[in-house]
Amino acid sequence: MQAMVLRAAGQPLVRSEVPTPRPGAGEALVRVAACAVCRTDLHVVDGELPDPKLPLIPGHEVVGRIEELGEGVDGFRIGERVGIPWLGWTCGECNFCRSDRENLCRRARFTGYTIEGGYGGYIAADARFCFRIPDSYDDVSAAPLLCAGLIGYRSLRMAGEGKRLGLYGFGAAAHIVAQIARHEGRNIFAFTRPGDAEAQRFARRLGVTWAGGSDEAAPEKLDAAIIFAPIGALVPAALRAVDRGGIVVCGGIHMSDIPQFPYRDLWHERKICSVANLTRRDGEEFMELARRVPIRIETRTFALDQANGALEALRAGKLTGAAVLVP
């Protein structure tokens, strides 16, 4: 099969002919219909995440149809559409797995990072970590749900139930979260790159209360803020933006260093927390929510062999919504 392969960190992906995987016990072989391009893919390719499997097929926002089932797989059938997320395997034995925190499993394996991903024609995935996709989304629109949606959903839940929510970095995840939060009756304040008028117009089209640059102050104090942009300097800025008792959630897997800030910015019971991976419960809850809430997914499609161009567009901040590769 054709795949885009990372051979060394910091190098462009190479279009390659690789063997089509075979499903092992407990696995499903899925023919890829679409794979969204995530900022985490960029961190893997750029070498900002340590020790990836090399050579590696990246990609962890995968939608496709089951072509073959390995021994012992129950609950799925040939031809069924499924989604494959970042979390690809957990041990089920450690204290985190046994306490419903499998996202923190020390032995976890991750799609498109430590196991092969979806930038190719086929992928073999542990069927226990595959999700059914709501029928109301086509393949391209569904792909960003598998990480931008899932991690955004987990971040939103960790942000609490406050009505005034700030979103720093208005890309794939934020544009999904904003629609869910509006459905819940919240007011959304979108912070973009300074001077990014296009991103601010995009946010306003989705019904946010306010949109401006991350160097601007919101018109009122926030109850919570979620940071999707991988910029550590936004953490002190978000702390200053939230009200007493507010929470700042860091929704990315990688972020530049957080600069020193005075204790007064944290005082009055403000909190900072990070989001790590997802659980299968997150996935089930989010897919059920996506069935009920008509989320409009903004996408730009690329052919598989244009994966490097999609990554560069993401790196340069030239995407509105999510990039999606279509094999």
CB 289: neighbour CB atoms within 10 A? 16
**Do 2-147+277-326 and 150-274 come out as alike in CATH topology?**
no
Whole-angstrom Cα distance, residue 237 to residue 239? 5
CATH 3.40.50.620 assigned to 2-147+277-326: no
Kind and range of the H or E run holding 67: strand 61-69
The matching CATH number, chosen from 3.30.420.40, 3.40.50.720, 3.30.365.10, 3.40.50.11290, for 150-274 is 3.40.50.720
Instruction: Kindly provide the residue ranges of all beta strands, DSSP E only, lying in 127-241, ordered along the sequence.
Output: 131-132, 164-168, 187-192, 210-213, 222-227
State whether the Cα torsion 200-170-254-258 is positive or negative: positive
pLDDT tens digits, the chain, 327 residues: what are they?
Answer: 999 999 999 999 999 999 999 999 999 999 999 999 999 999 999 999 999 999 999 999 999 999 999 999 999 999 999 999 999 999 999 999 999 999 999 999 999 999 999 999 999 999 999 999 999 999 999 999 999 999 999 999 999 999 999 999 999 999 999 999 999 999 999 999 999 999 999 999 999 999 999 999 999 999 999 999 999 999 999 999 999 999 999 999 999 999 999 999 999 999 999 999 999 999 999 999 999 999 999 999 999 999 999 999 999 989 989 999 999
Question: What are the extents of the domains in the chain?
Answer: 2-147+277-326, 150-274
For residue 38, give both structure tokens: 């995530």
Q: Is 26 exposed, middle or buried (0-12, 13-18, 19+ CB in 10 A)?
A: middle
Q: Is 47 left (phi over 0), alpha (psi -120 to 50) or beta?
A: left
Residue 265 is predicted with a pLDDT of 97
* Closest-CA residue to 229 (of 85, 43, 22, 95): 43
Q: What pLDDT, in 10s, does the model give residues 45-64?
A: 999 999 999 999 999 999 99
Whole-angstrom Cα distance, residue 232 to residue 214? 12
